[in-house]
Amino acid sequence: MSSLIDDIEEKFVSRGSVTHVIFDFDGILVDTERLYSKANEQVLKSQHGKTFTNIEKALMMGKAKPLAVEALLKSFGLDDPKGIEKYMEAYDAKLAELLIAETEVLPGAIPLVDHLHKSGIPLAICTGSDALEFKQKTSNTEISNWLEKIPLRLLCGSDPEITYCKPHPEPYLKLMKRFDDGGPASPENVLVFEDSVNGVRSALDAGCTVIMVPQPEFLPPNWEEDELRAHPNLVEVLESLTEFKPQNYGLPAFC
């Protein structure tokens, strides 16, 4: 995927360098989006005989689980509260099983986080997960130990200070105020990595500088249209974190 601008450095120098970095979690650091899809495919088919596609996936990505499931079922006209509750129970059980057994770190995530942490860049995670989901996704000891390098985490699904989850900007606005160093001088000095349209909108509306790293298999049919509608602060679209060049944003280059 090509950059959305011809010269990133020229555009960015006018507003200063990145001082803080925030990562979405699912689909950016860990490969859990495919597990969400797998769980939905199985439960949606078994309970309602429906097929789960990228159209439904796009409706759900980046949202807290209750809102995501509600959006999914409403898209099929299945908005009965009891039906939603029944679906959630089956989905939770299937997802927990998959998360514990199959969660993996995505390419480029470990070297990038390690490099930024070693360089003293303040890091954070902003995810739609709740505390239980996050615990399940990080039950692998190696993943859990690695993530100690990012102690600041905002879990939209269970954070008592969050009223609106992604795509609303509130999660990023609140998270930027929680950095130990007092936070960035400006939201534009915060670089956010997101994989979903909902997550990108949340970060852009909060004023952050955003790099999108979508997983191609989960792109919605109207992806190009959504990409072009995005804010100018969406500065790059990468195929993988392995393509990221930190020096383009005033961050230390990889050695």
In CATH, the number for domain 8-31+105-249 is 3.40.50.1000
pLDDT above 50: residue 146: yes
Domain ranges of the chain: 8-31+105-249, 33-102
Of the residues 6, 24, 80, 159, only one is catalytic, namely 24
| Per-residue model confidence as pLDDT tens digits over 10-35 | 445 444 589 999 999 999 999 988 89
CB atoms under 10 Å from CB of 77, counted, come to 7
Closest CA to 193 of 37, 30, 29: 29
pTM recorded for the entire structure: 0.83
Using an 8 Å Cβ cutoff, are 106 and 28 in contact? Answer: yes
Using an 8 Å Cβ cutoff, are 13 and 209 in contact? Answer: no
Residue 92 is among the residues annotated as catalytic for this protein: no
Residue 130 is among the residues annotated as catalytic for this protein: no
pLDDT above 50: residue 9: no
| Per-residue model confidence as pLDDT tens digits over 169-220 | 999 999 999 999 999 999 999 999 999 888 998 999 999 999 999 987 777 7
Question: Which structure tokens are listed for 108?
Answer: 């480029």
Of the residues 26, 159, 195, 205, only one is catalytic, namely 26
DSSP-derived 3-state class of residue 40? helix
Instruction: State which H helix or E strand residue 59 sits in.
Output: helix 54-60
